[in-house]
Amino acid sequence: MVRLAIISDTHVPSREPAIPDWVRETCENADHVVHAGDFDSSETLETVREFSPELTAVAGNVDPPTLDLPEVATLELGGVTFVVTHGSGPLDGYRNRVVGTVERTAQRDAVGICGHTHEVMDETVRGVRLLNPGTATGAAPAIEATMYVAEVADGGLSVELRDGPQ
């Protein structure tokens, strides 16, 4: 079994001063961390790298180009393929845009991990499961910090939403 921490939209330092300790600790205790973009700064990317055992990360719409992150990343864990993208662009058409990225990127069924909206989502759209962990810092317009913790094994995936110290 692989334990996966899924975070996004940290927005440190422009909207929030720091990543909450409970998010850091949850990530430290995972086997792999996914960040779906909008770190906000190179310092925040380095901080996330420091507390992540392994990290897969993509660029968000506010990330400086100097972070040198891909717009889309693919990850295979425990028999499940994940396609990670921020989902940048207008909110209208967001789900279909993310699904399109997953469909163009994956060779077979995949789970899409996305960010951008700061709203938690676990939905299936056009046969693709989409996971948006919200914002790991509670950055506006969100009202609380959220993230997902997933367990992946033998092609199976279970996902739990976390929204504060556990």
Q: What is the CATH number of the domain that holds 72?
A: 3.60.21.10
Q: What is the pLDDT of residues 71-104, one digit of tens each?
A: 999 999 999 999 999 999 999 999 999 999 999 9
Q: What confidence score (pLDDT) does residue 27 get?
A: 98
Position 166 pLDDT exceeds 70: no
pLDDT-derived band at 107, boundaries 50, 70, 90: confident
pLDDT-derived band at 164, boundaries 50, 70, 90: confident
Total domain count, the chain: 1
Position 165 pLDDT exceeds 90: no
The DSSP line for the chain is -EEEEEE----TTTT-SS--HHHHHHHHTSSEEEE-S---SHHHHHHHHHH-SSEEE---TTS-GGG---SEEEEEETTEEEEEE---S-STTHHHHHHHHHHHH-SS--EEE--SS-SEEEEEETTEEEEEE--TT--TT-SS--EEEEEEETTEEEEEEE-S--
Domain that holds residue 117: 2-162
CA distances from 132 to 13, 42, 72, 121, 122 (A): 21, 22, 15, 5, 7
Q: What is the pLDDT of residues 122-163, one digit of tens each?
A: 999 999 999 999 999 999 999 999 999 999 999 999 999 999
Regarding pTM above 0.95, the answer is yes
